[in-house]
Copies of this chain bind each other. A is one copy, B any other.
Amino acid sequence: MTWFNTPLTERLHTQFPLIQAPMAGGVTTPELVAAVSNAGGLGSLAAGLLDPQEIRAAIIAIRELTDKPFAVNLYAPQPWQEDTDRIQQVMDLLSPYREELGLPSTPPTEPYQPNYSEQLAVVLDEGVNIISFAFGLPAPEEIETLKEWDVLIMATATHLLEGILLEESGVDIIIAQGAEAGGPRSTFVGPAEQGLVGTMALVPLLANHVKIPIIAAGGIMDGRGIAAALVLGSAGVQLGTAFLTCPESGAHPDYKALLAHSTEINTRLSRCFTGRLARGLKNRFTEDLYAHETEWPDYPIQNALTHDILQAAARQNRSEFMALWAGQGCPLCTDKPAGELVAHWIAQAKEALSG
């Protein structure tokens, strides 16, 4: 099985070079993370939007289900601008939806996001030794701290320059997020529209220019994609959408049902939910509001402005108001358990690589 012994499995101490992507909104339950790690991959807890105490509880719950390695994902702090006028305009735009959902029209107040330093402190305090970052680059002094704590650092690049910056900063592993990927784009240099490079082009380009291991992400849905990513020059793969419909996934049942009948031409890149460009299935919210695409305030403000809408949508089973993150491979989703999927994909990748 030399195919699956890569610089990634050596660094992660996993059986297979396969990571379950961190997916916010309650998708990465302890059950999902543990199932992937127990199956020989690396589960990831999406902790970027969780409060420190929620992160601690989740880590403890994962540890009750597995003694294998897993990762915690945080959002690297990023610049954003407060804009009171714009917040009021967006509140007005969203008020018909709030009314429909029976929500009061109260603008959110700061803090718009959980405290990043407290999040990181909890992760370190819990002894997690693999942290992945989205949305940017941790500060130099943080990288130093993480190295002192013997933490393996993964961070996300959407184009070559970001990959080079990550390598220079001391990051251990680069996650190459291709344009096919679901959820928010991780672009941190230049506009997100510029960072929409397909996985097929992005991985070999990074492999030519950086020495640290690269994880391919975006459009990979099964063993064929895993095999393709490895021969392209990646040391492993990260799959998100392919795990969304697992029984262990915390995705809303209506969201899972929509994925089961999705088509690859039914995703949309939009900033309407979080302020960051993100790929998900079209629904009433994305389509109604697409004309306002340039008006949303930066993340995390827009995220705070839609938070109650998303929560009410989940409670009331109103998928037309949910953030239905999905990559372009979404029609290949299946409802098999996560551990079974990992075993099946590895067998399929082996088969694909045997000629």
Q: Which of B198, B220, B328 contacts A328 (CB 8 A)?
A: B198
Q: Which of B180, B201, B222 contacts A264 (CB 8 A)?
A: B201
Q: With A and B bound together, what is the CA distance between A353 and B231 in angstroms?
A: 6
Q: With A and B bound together, what is the CA distance between A207 and B179 in angstroms?
A: 21
- Say yes or no: A204 contacts B180, CB within 8 Å: no
A332 interface contact, C-beta 8 A: yes
- Say yes or no: A2 contacts B355, CB within 8 Å: yes
A228 interface contact, C-beta 8 A: yes
Q: For A263, what are the chain B residues with a Cβ–Cβ distance below 8 Å?
A: 159-161
Tell me what chain A mostly uses at the interface: helix, strand, loop, or mixed.
Answer: helix
Shortest CB–CB separation between residue A285 and chain B, in angstroms?
19
Shortest CB–CB separation between residue A277 and chain B, in angstroms?
14
Q: For A178, what are the chain B residues with a Cβ–Cβ distance below 8 Å?
A: 198, 200
Interface string of A306-328 (1 = CB under 8 A from B): 00000000000000000000011
Q: With A and B bound together, what is the CA distance between A151 and B200 in angstroms?
A: 31
- Say yes or no: B225 contacts A204, CB within 8 Å: yes
Interface string of A144-169 (1 = CB under 8 A from B): 00000000000000011100000000
- Say yes or no: A265 contacts B201, CB within 8 Å: no
Q: With A and B bound together, what is the CA distance between A320 and B205 in angstroms?
A: 26
Considering residues A219, A220, A353, which has the most beta carbons from chain B within 10 angstroms of its beta carbon? A219
Q: Which chain B residue has the least Cβ–Cβ distance from A352?
A: B231
Q: Which of B232, B265, B327 contacts A195 (CB 8 A)?
A: B265
A329 interface contact, C-beta 8 A: yes
Q: Which chain B residue has the least Cβ–Cβ distance from A3?
A: B355
- Contact residues of A between 209 and 223, Cβ < 8 Å to B: 218-222
Q: For A220, what are the chain B residues with a Cβ–Cβ distance below 8 Å?
A: 200
A88 interface contact, C-beta 8 A: no
A331 interface contact, C-beta 8 A: yes
Q: For A205, what are the chain B residues with a Cβ–Cβ distance below 8 Å?
A: 264, 329, 331-332
Q: For A264, what are the chain B residues with a Cβ–Cβ distance below 8 Å?
A: 159-160, 197, 201-202, 205
Q: With A and B bound together, what is the CA distance between A305 and B351 in angstroms?
A: 52
Q: Give the B-binding residues of A (Cβ under 8 A).
A: 2-3, 159-161, 178-180, 190, 194-195, 197-202, 204-205, 207-208, 218-222, 224-225, 227-229, 231-233, 263-265, 327-329, 331-332, 352-353, 355
